[in-house]
Amino acid sequence: MVPPPSTPSLDSQQIQQFLSSVLSQRGPSSLPYTEDSKWLIRQHLLSLTSRYPSLQPKTATFTHNDGRSVNLLQADGTIPMPYQGVTYNIPIIIWLIESYPRYPPVVYVNPTRDMIIKRPHPHVSPSGLVSIPYLQNWIYPSSNLVDLVINLGSAFSHDPPLYSQRRSNPNPNPPNYGQQQQPPPPRVAAAGYPPSPYGRAQPSQTEDAAEVYKRNAVNKLVEVVHGDIIKMRKEREAEMEGLFSAQGVLRKREEEVNKGLKEMQDEKEALEQQLQVVLMSTDVLAGWVRENEGKIKNLGKNNDSVDVDVDEVFHCADVLSKQMLDCTAADLAIEDVVYSLDKALQEGAVPFDQYLRNVRLLSREQFFHKATAAKVRAAQMQAQVASMAARAPHSHYAP
């Protein structure tokens, strides 16, 4: 096994002091981690540097895709990678993003000037972004940085992500950068790292200009299509809002039409009931006329020789009709008497006090007759409704 390259590193006490200092800062210069996760972040980094002294904790500026720049912790250095019986050292950077440790860190392979990222690689993008199953299946709080580095070394040992720039064939054995006694140190400037975990980084010096132009054109086309989709979505939303409004208006009109239709049906039923009453009354009157037509003719012929009793001309059908006839006759008779008293008072034939006394008595009697007539009329209506209900199943009249 070849030892890792010797680089100046902080001892355990210095690392503890550094982490305690940066994680305890407050105000604008504080790191964007939640207070309840800072202690766990400190423990993860201490365990990592204790297990892998070649990785050193640092703070640097990380740039997101949306242009936001934020000061974050990182572990910068090399990790061991066994390959064909030889241990090589892969330079990487582990960024602890704002949501760490609930979400996985962002890992980049950090090749030196004489190294090139292998294309294609199942776990490393052309920008250096690393994606392995351990990162994709990150589980809080059991996942940690030590196990992450172990899985990185295991994944890279099956397919090394870097090869020497001096070689044109990417398949030969990895370069002997792990065997160098004093390899060039990794670049620590923020501009040398890919700016985001999505690979939107400045192209390396070895990238083909045609590939860069193609990627930029694709990105531009995606932005245009995205803008068109947003515009189309807004138009469709406005159109749907208009359709919903029209649907509401139509629903309201439907309710009004149904209400009007119900009212017309109710009115039709009421008119049909009134028509039934009229037809029944017509039948009764027609029958009465047929029965009394001969009597009227005989009265006309024998008017001179036969005395006709007026009270015997009309015969009431039942007790209620007889009572109604008596009340109505008494009411009209009292009306005539009051009229005659008025005429007599105007002519001076009746004294005024006698007039008032008679009118008071007559009015009281007339009131009782009218009240009795109203009760009889209500009783007749109830009897008529009951008779119609009894005859309805057996009688049919054309509307």
Residue 78: CATH number of its domain: 3.10.110.10
- Per the domain annotation, does 342 fall within a domain? yes
CA distances from 105 to 56, 143, 151, 247 (A): 15, 11, 14, 51
Q: Is residue 156 part of a domain?
A: yes
CA dihedral over 380, 382, 388, 393, signed as positive or negative: negative
69 part of a folded domain: yes
Is 119 a domain residue?
A: yes
**pTM score of the predicted model:** 0.43
Contact 388, 280 (CB under 8 A): yes
HEC string of 59-111 equals EEEEECCCCCEEEEEEEEEEEEEEECCEEEEEEEEEEECCCCCCCCCEEEECC
**Last residue of one domain, picked from the residues 137, 163, 189:** 163
Examine the fold and report which residue of 111, 137, 163 is the final residue of a domain before the chain moves on: 163
55: buried, middle or exposed (CB in 10 Å: 19+, 13-18, 0-12)?
A: buried
Domain contains 1: no
Domain count, the chain: 2
Q: How far is it, in rounded angstroms, from Cα 157 to Cα 184?
A: 22
Read off the tokens for 136: 């994709």
Q: Is there a domain that residue 86 lies in? A: yes
Phi, then psi, of 184 in degrees rounded to 5: -65, 135
Instruction: Output the pLDDT for position 309.
Output: 62
Per-residue pLDDT of the chain (399 residues; tens, 9 = 90+): 334 444 455 778 888 889 988 888 887 788 989 888 888 999 999 999 999 999 999 999 998 877 888 999 999 999 999 888 888 889 999 999 999 999 999 999 998 888 888 888 889 988 889 999 999 999 988 899 999 999 999 999 888 888 876 644 545 455 544 443 333 333 333 333 333 333 333 444 455 677 777 888 888 898 889 889 999 999 998 999 899 999 999 999 999 999 999 999 999 999 999 999 999 999 888 888 888 777 666 665 655 555 556 666 667 778 888 888 889 999 999 999 999 999 998 988 889 999 999 999 999 999 999 999 999 989 888 888 887 777 765 544 444
Backbone angles phi, psi at 296, to 5 degrees: -65, -40
**Closest of 122, 96, 127, 123 to residue 110, by C-alpha:** 127
**359 part of a folded domain:** yes
Q: What is the pLDDT of residue 308?
A: 57
- Answer yes or no: are the C-beta atoms of 132 and 155 closer than 8 Å: yes
> What is the largest distance, in Å, between two alpha-carbon atoms of the chain?
162
Q: Tokens 């005989």 identify what position? A: 298
Domain containing 356 equals 319-390
* pLDDT for position 163: 81
pLDDT at 211: 79
pLDDT of residue 3: 41
Query: How high is the pLDDT of residue 216?
Result: 81
In a domain, 181, yes or no: no
Give me 92's structure tokens.
């990487």
Residue at which a domain ends, from 116, 145, 163? 163
β-strand 106-109 against 115-117: which pairing, if any? unpaired
pLDDT at 145: 94
